[in-house]
Amino acid sequence: MKLLFLGDIVGKSGRDAVLKHLPSLKTTYAPDCIIINAENAAHGFGITKSIAAELFDAGAHVVTSGNHIWDKQEILAYISQEKRVLRPHNYPPHLPGSGICEIETIKGQKVVVINIMGRLFMETLDDPFACIDTLLKPYILGRNAHAIFVDFHAETTSEKQAFCHYVDGRVSGVIGTHTHVPTADERIFPKGTAFQSDAGMCGDYYNSVIGMQVSGSLGKFLKRIPYDRMQPAEGEGTVCGALITLNSNGLASSIERVRAGKPL
C-alpha cells in the first residue's frame, strides 16, 4: 500500500499548485490513499467548505489541519458533518469535529488517519501522548487496520521525534506539519514507523516567508508594534510532501520526499 501526504497548503498559490500537480503525482506514484493538510488554504488562514470540496474532487481522501482550523467561522458547522476533514484531536472534546477517521480504499483496505497537535511553543492542549494511546486502543496494525497515519502538527523537531518513538511499531507513519519547511530527515524508525519532521508546505517558497508575503513578515520583526494581518504570497507554488510505502503488516518499507513544481 502507498500513502501520499502533502504538507500545509498556503493560500491560492498552494491550492493552484496542488490542483495542477496532483494528477501527475497520482500517475507517477499510484497512491492508494491521499492525505492533505489544508489548514492555511483559505487565504493563509483556515479552510472553507468549498476548498475542502475542491480537494476531495481532486483526489484527496482526508484533509487534516492544525492550529488555524478555526480561523473561518463556517468550518464550525461543516467539520461536524464532514468526517473527512480533521482537526487536532487533542483540542477540548466539546469542540466540533474529530481528529480521527477511517477510509476504505478502492482495494478494500482500511486506512486510519489521525490528526494531533504538539504542545511545545503551541496552544495549551490535552497531552498528545495520552491522546494517541486512547485513539489507538481499538486498532492493531496489520489486523483490523491496514494502515494508520498520523499528521503531527507541532513546532519543534524534538517533540515530533519523541512522539514517533512513542508510537513506533504501532502506526504506519508520522509526518510533521506546521513549520512550512521540508526537512531532509525522512527515515524508518527501529520498529517500522516511517517519519519526517516536517513535510513542508504547498505554496510560494521563492518570494515569501514560509508562504506569507515578505513585507508583512518583515514588518512583524522590525516594527514590533501591531501590524496588519499577513497575506499569503502569490507566486508560483511548489508542492511538497512524502510517499510512504507499506508492507502487508502495515509498517513502512520506504519513505521518500515528494516535490512537484518550481524546484526549491
Range of the domain at 58: 2-261
* CATH classification at residue 38: 3.60.21.10
Residue ranges at the known binding site: 8, 39-40, 67, 153, 178, 180
DSSP state of 42: T
Residue ranges at the known binding site for Fe cation: 8, 39-40, 67, 153, 178, 180
Active-site option among 21, 68, 89, 146 = 68
Question: Rounded CA gap, 240 and 202, in Å?
Answer: 6
Question: Rounded CA gap, 261 and 70, in Å?
Answer: 29
pTM: 0.96
CB of 116 closer than 8 Å to CB of 152: yes
Question: Rounded CA gap, 99 and 231, in Å?
Answer: 28
Grid coordinates in use for 45?
488562514
The tally of domains found in the chain comes to 1
The reported pLDDT for the residue numbered 227 is 63
Question: Rounded CA gap, 152 and 59, in Å?
Answer: 22
For strand 187-188 and strand 194-196, is the pairing parallel, antiparallel, or unpaired? antiparallel
Per-position b or e across 119-148, b if 16+ CB within 10 A of its CB: beebeebbebeebbeebbeebebbeebbbb
Partnered with residue 259 across adjacent β-strands are 240
pLDDT in tens, the chain (264 residues): 999 999 999 999 999 999 999 999 999 999 999 999 999 999 999 999 999 999 999 999 999 999 999 999 999 999 999 999 999 999 999 999 999 999 999 999 999 999 999 999 998 999 999 999 999 999 999 999 999 999 999 999 999 999 999 999 999 999 999 999 999 999 999 999 999 999 999 999 999 999 999 988 888 888 877 667 789 999 999 999 999 999 999 999 999 999 999 888
* 68 in catalytic set: yes
